[in-house]
Amino acid sequence: MHTGWFLHTEDDEVCGLWMAEMRNSITIEIHPMILKEFRGKKAYKGAKEFFTWITKNTKYEKVNAEIATCFPNAKMFAVQCGMKLEGTIRRSFKKNGEIHDQWLLGITREELEARYE
């Protein structure tokens, strides 16, 4: 099951989309897609709101993200949001005909609650 949340500015302008996919009964995988002009403080505010919503409204114990190695800025954003590098998924993403590895990043409920509450 996929669920999507649109991230809005205070002026109600869409600045990105957070998608979540239920992996199993305790793990959710996220796919943040933030428009280039809204990266920075607004993106971090959106991450805080998204992660806070997860901890307050769901029973998930773990949040994962798979980020293709051709997107190092997305990895940096995830790490700055508190996610930890947990491994590499080899040859698992294709962009413009080229196959890339993906980084697997994760954060636990306890880490989210300590960081965002």
**Axis crossing angle, helix 109-116 with helix 41-57, rounded to the nearest 10:** 120
| Total of domains in the chain | 1
Identify the domain containing residue 96 by its residue range: 2-116
Which pLDDT does position 4 carry in this prediction? Answer: 67
Query: How far apart (Å, rounded) are the C-alpha atoms in residues 33 and 102?
Result: 16
Q: Are 74 and 47 in contact (CB under 8 A)?
A: no
Q: Is the pLDDT of residue 1 over 60?
A: no
CATH number at residue 78: 3.40.630.30
Give the integer Cα–Cα distance in Å for 87 and 66. 10
Rg of the chain over CA atoms, in angstroms? 14
Q: Bridge-partner residues for 93, per DSSP?
A: 100
Supply the pTM of this predicted model.
0.86
pLDDT digits (tens, 9 = 90+) for 54-63: 999 999 999 9
